[in-house]
Amino acid sequence: MSVSTSVSAIFINHSDYLPSILNLLNSLEKNNKNNKNNKIAIITDENVLSPYAQPLHDKLVTAGFVAKIFSFASGDNHKTRQTKELIEDQMFAQNFGRDTIVLAVGGGVVTDLAGFIAATFCRGIPYINLPTSLLAMVDASIGGKNGVNIPAGKNLIGTIYQPRGVLIDTKNLKTLPLCELKNGIVEMIKNGLVASAQYFDYLEKNYKKIITLDDHTITQAIHWSCEIKREIVEEDELENGKRRLLNLGHTVGHALEKISNFTLSHGEAVALGILTECHMAVQLKELDAKVLNRILKIFRDYALPLTFPNVPQLDAILDAMILDKKSLQGMARFVVIKEIGTPIAYEGAYCRNIEKNIIKDSLLWIKNDLLSDKSTKY
């Protein structure tokens, strides 16, 4: 199964990456006759080095390519400028230059970092994403966003630079820890909330099959999610409007990740963010409380922990949100939906400022009432 897109080619369920990689490499060489006999830089982290990156490296070398692995310590706290600089220096030391093609093998941290390296190395070289986590398959590897975390916040330094291909093998999910699987499911739910009530229904009705990785169901769910994101990105690649919809839950979610020093997983943080921001929409009388409870139920069906981090002052969360990418004039802005699958356009901005007291009330609801009976009787 494949998704046709001008942003990037997405192939789903390829049991062997090599034929698809070779096709992409041949296509790149035809389009750039000055760059023959490309060197392959495989960028990965220590978690996927042995099971995925090393076997791929060996196959490429056997096929006659010059390929090297550049690995770094796993985890979001290693997605930094320092790691980027270290890998770039290693690549130059190994005589990699303008004739390099990057293969990003790993989860979202790897694809974010490798994409940023590809965008700036020798002022831009091609790269291909080979996502190994569900989060990377449905979100991080698609759309060209890349970057690193800095002390001020998450993903604040980076570019939008499209991969030449995204190769997805759903069999990789069989080795994924359940907590990592849930990270990706949250992004799939988010895509349904902002773009497709039908897709949300599918995730709702098939949660048992999805969480147990039924082949047909998970493949269909991934394909559908990729298609939703592709359509939005192709309409607004540089995030001047509609692409902001993909940030539902991320204004609050990224702030929670930052203040927890990334001990809170991305999926759990975004789930809490979605609930917080939809609670704001209820306070604004844009969203019915019954819809909020339906959203809460699907997160519970997928057994998301939904544990609010220990934060002495809510103002710390508000301060962390100020540097969100949607912020304007020092004020955080939020995506608002009025129904599942129906966002509010706000004259093409697709987000709006919300009063501080409403934000605080919603954060208090998440912090104090979410795990109590009150949360189902809003």
Catalytic residue among 14, 68, 84, 187: 187
Place of tokens 């700036």: 120
Q: For this structure, is 78 an active site residue?
A: no
Catalytic residue among 33, 36, 123, 174: 123
The residue among 81, 82, 58 whose CA lies nearest residue 69 is 58
Catalytic residue among 164, 182, 230, 266: 266
Q: For this structure, is 187 an active site residue?
A: yes
Query: What distance in Å separates the CA atoms of residue 362 and residue 364, rounded to the nearest whole number?
Result: 5
Catalytic residue among 38, 57, 223, 239: 239
Q: For this structure, is 279 an active site residue?
A: no
Q: For this structure, is 294 an active site residue?
A: no
Catalytic residue among 229, 230, 242, 326: 229
Catalytic residue among 14, 79, 145, 333: 145
Q: For this structure, is 243 an active site residue?
A: yes
- CB-based contact 190:246 (threshold 8 Å): yes
- CB-based contact 130:103 (threshold 8 Å): yes
- CB-based contact 103:42 (threshold 8 Å): yes
CB atoms within 10 A of CB 127: 26
Catalytic residue among 247, 257, 268, 277: 247
Place of tokens 């802005």: 333
- CB-based contact 7:143 (threshold 8 Å): yes
Q: For this structure, is 229 an active site residue?
A: yes
- CB-based contact 105:21 (threshold 8 Å): no
How is 203-264 classified by DSSP, letter by letter? Answer: HHHTHHHHHTT-HHHHHHHHHHHHHHHHHHHHH-TT-SSGGGGGGTTHHHHHHHHHHTTT-S
Catalytic residue among 39, 68, 244, 250: 250
Catalytic residue among 79, 190, 254, 326: 254
The residue among 276, 308, 309, 267 whose CA lies nearest residue 295 is 276
Catalytic residue among 14, 68, 243, 258: 243
- H/E stretch holding 94 reads none
For Cα atoms 135, 66, 176, give the angle at the middle one, nearest 5 degrees. Answer: 20
Active-site residue list = 123, 145, 187, 229, 239, 243, 247, 250, 254, 266
